[in-house]
Structure 1
């Protein structure tokens, strides 16, 4: 035996033995054609047969270990339930009516979706206290929405374990696509962590996988008339009416910066002041453009004011860290509520109210 053959045998002997008892028999009985059968069998579809087979237990256990939840997802049945979408139940019963129906993650995904919305809402609201309501809703969707959950599930490596079935659109409900079914896995896992551990453990999981992602909040806000919106905001805070201090030669103390006024490519820098306080600054090839950007910068500076991470207080921190649900009697943790801030300009959250002049939402 040569050196290469000996090395191959040595490496093969070190590999762990994997049981093949979970593997389905192939070809299945329905794929065989018997000449003497009286009732012809329907045509065998290998894609449908493959989608009906459960994932191997080794893959389920590896998935739980990969995301660091092997102690919570302790059984393969629990992991398989978390990876089984509700659309798969009817699909399985249609092809195997005599077998018991698989357990789906429908209830777990509903609970997990509510928990993720709760964690995202309190985190964003505590981190950005001046954020307008509609932008807050958009930020929550960006953090824990369906597309984000599907992306996180892909990063976890749960796509091969998903059991689902595509359904078309109906008058009563929209169709189910692959991202919709895939997004149910992180939600179901969040609910399982809450049931097996505690609410704070579920919050830690959501913070680790979802809320630590950077979201571009500036791109979610766009102003049609930032000057009018700035006037209304300053009036709400009771500050002195703002004014733009343009770069001019006559008012030297009001000068910010300018270059190339009489050239083909001028640049003007404008500052917006309220009293002695500078609210914002903007530049542009014209004074009007610079004023627009300065007012927009002043609004964004207020709306995107961020609370330091060590000062962020979350209401769910009052719940117990012991295992169990939140409805049992347990000692409450300490919570210091932050100071209330002035409410934001009306952003027409319901779609029927009066929006502030020049304010809209992008994304």
Structure 2
């Protein structure tokens, strides 16, 4: 039973010699009277204190998920790691972590509009698609926002158009030279050089705050060595045609434990993705015209791609296969045979026909160069009218005439 202080004072005033009611109930000794010079104790209302101070007021937040997920996006500078979030909170945070630029930023980007105008891209190619081609898969793993799907289509188109152009122009080229020519036109280093000529700039780090006109990719850490696993085996041309890529090389596998891509690969992927995007949005004629203007307009010295170990033997095998007379080396002219710097001019003849001519400081060197010139004259044959198979897909195309097909290179 609780009694206030006023009821206790009333009992004490009415019966001064009798203990108070509260003291008699609890069997406690009587309180000593305070000295007269001490200030009397103030009356405290404990019930009011216990309701307003001691017990905290509990208030339910109106939107717990949005508040907590917003606070988790704030970067805190602290030495101690933050506690892990529950699973339902982690799933909500994925909606806010967008590594690609937003659509509003794409429409306001001056760099992106300048790139679209600088490359003379058709109006049917929207800026949103152009911005997507600038996002590498290392920057945004989502296939709906990176350029990986465009790059797969673009790489096949570039390889197809380049291969048919080279084979139709030079139908007698060896397979190794064809691979080297395709690599020189649409290899990673060639495409990276093309992207630099287009004025493509790189972002320091990928993120949603980056300008959409910059190429976004995750860079390799400094001093990272990419080690290729496995042993290099000697394989024939047939095995390389079946199992290798369009350049006659084994498909590259990502190195374990390495995050990021080289700059050359990121540039090449962007060019491939742009080619695929143009093909999807604008059609085959526009994509092929873009290929001719930016890729086939580059001059490639195909004669410098040859490498012969024993040209005289290869020339002998070639003449035997084609039914020509056996090649014979003859001196056409010479000067300074007994001097320090002699010069010999040697020609390779098959009957009365001159197959090749070469000069050198010795007869052996001149004969070697003459055999190389004869082989290049055979392999670099080009028809007067070059027509590729894809030209028949046009609406006003002429009927297809079979192109020349060579028996193949010399196998010794």
TM-score (norm 1): 0.70
Residue in 2 that maps onto 1:17: none
C-alpha displacement at 1:235, in angstroms?
A: 1.3
Structure 1 segments unaligned to the other structure (5+ residues): 1-28, 41-50, 94-100, 247-255, 322-330, 347-355, 357-363
Residue in 2 that maps onto 1:226: 311
1:180 to 260, 265, 268: 265
Residue in 2 that maps onto 1:164: 217
Structure 2 segments unaligned to the other structure (5+ residues): 1-72, 84-98, 203-213, 230-252
Q: How does 1:235-314 map to 2 (within 5 A)?
A: 235-246=320-331, 256-308=332-384, 311-314=385-388
Where do 4+ consecutive residues of structure 1 move more than 3 Å?
29-34, 51-56, 167-172
CA contact (8 A) 1:112 1:187 kept: yes
1:319 to 393, 399, 409: 393
Q: Given the alignment of the two structures, is residue 196 of structure 1 paired with residue 238 of structure 2, yes or no?
A: no
Q: Distance in 1 between matches of 2:402 and 2:137?
A: 40
Q: Distance in 2 between matches of 1:272 and 1:332?
A: 43
2:177 to 135, 138, 150: 135
Distance 1:333 1:108, change over 3 A: farther
Residue in 2 that maps onto 1:88: 139
Residue-pair matches, total: 277
Q: Distance in 2 between matches of 1:303 and 1:190?
A: 31
Q: Distance in 1 between matches of 2:310 and 2:164?
A: 30
Q: Given the alignment of the two structures, is residue 60 of structure 1 paired with residue 112 of structure 2, yes or no?
A: yes
SS at match of 2:125: coil
Q: Distance in 2 between matches of 1:213 and 1:307?
A: 20
Moved more, 158-167 or 298-307: 158-167
CA contact (8 A) 1:147 1:183 kept: yes
Q: Distance in 2 between matches of 1:260 and 1:78?
A: 68
RMSD of Structure 2 on Structure 1 (CA): 2.8
Is the radius of gyration larger for structure 1 or structure 2?
A: 2
CA contact (8 A) 1:159 1:182 kept: no
C-alpha displacement at 1:32, in angstroms?
A: 8.0
SS at match of 1:278: strand
Residue in 1 that maps onto 2:65: none
SS at match of 1:135: helix
Residue in 2 that maps onto 1:349: none
Residue in 2 that maps onto 1:79: 130
Residue in 2 that maps onto 1:340: 405
CA contact (8 A) 2:318 2:410 kept: yes
Render the CA deviation track for 1:243-279: whole Å, top value 9, x for unaligned. Answer: 0112xxxxxxxxx211111212111100101111100
